[in-house]
Amino acid sequence: MTSSSGADESARGRGGVTGAPAPPAPRSSSDLAGTEQLSEDTELLVGADIAESMDSSFTVLERETCLNLLATREIGRVAFTIEGDAAPTVLPVNYSLLNDTIVFRSNLAGTVMRHGRGYAAFEVDHFDHERFEGWSVLVSGRCRWIRDTGELSRIPQGRLAKPWAAGERDQVLKIVPSRISGRRIARG
């Protein structure tokens, strides 16, 4: 793509900072070749899940309720951005909730260790697909590598989650929540 001024190109040549990667271009009609276009009426009816008869309720959860729900699970998803990628990376981890802090293990060569330190999001949920009920908690905050031996020694023995993944996970990371939000959906 050409630019109307040479400023962008000269900044790149000097190692200048460029903006975030551009979003993907819209799909052309040839990208959709072989797919049948549905009329607007058909799109609204085919495959639509209509919840009017289920009498469901949607609740925004308080911070303490979110923390209590986080304490009931041992697998969550940590989300972070790898420099140069247009979309976040989301990886499952075994975790523990210690006080209000999410703690999990990795190894020095792990993706989270290399790219996830900094701001991250952490999500845990539970859904009952038969009853159409469930909850989701989202935490965001700084993800830090715990390197201080004093801080590591304050973690009670046996409280770190044992990773399901093979291989040694001898490094400990934590996410200290700066924001916690949660939602519950239930049938009335």
Instruction: Please give the average per-residue pLDDT across 51-77, as a whole number.
Output: 85
Q: Confidence band (pLDDT; 50, 70, 90) for 179?
A: very high
* Three-state DSSP string of the chain: CCCCCCHHHHHHHCCCCCCCCCCCCCCCHHHHCCCCCCCHHHHHHCCCCCCHHHCEEEEEECHHHHHHHHCCCCEEEEEECCCCCCCCEEEEEEEEEECCEEEEEECCCCHHHHHHCEEEEEEEEEEECCCCEEEEEEEEEEEEEECCHHHHHCCCCCCCCCCCCCCCCCEEEEEEEEEEEEEEEEEC
Instruction: Please give the average per-residue pLDDT across 74-100, as a whole number.
Output: 91
Dump pLDDT digits (tens) for 142-151: 999 988 888 8
Q: Output the pLDDT for position 163.
A: 75
The chain-wide mean pLDDT, for the chain, equals 76
Q: Confidence band (pLDDT; 50, 70, 90) for 126?
A: very high
Q: Output the pLDDT for position 122.
A: 96
Better pLDDT: 136 or 165 = 136
Distance CA 56, CA 23 (A): 36
pTM over 0.75? The answer is: no
Dump pLDDT digits (tens) for 21-63: 555 555 454 544 444 544 555 444 444 444 444 577 889 999 9
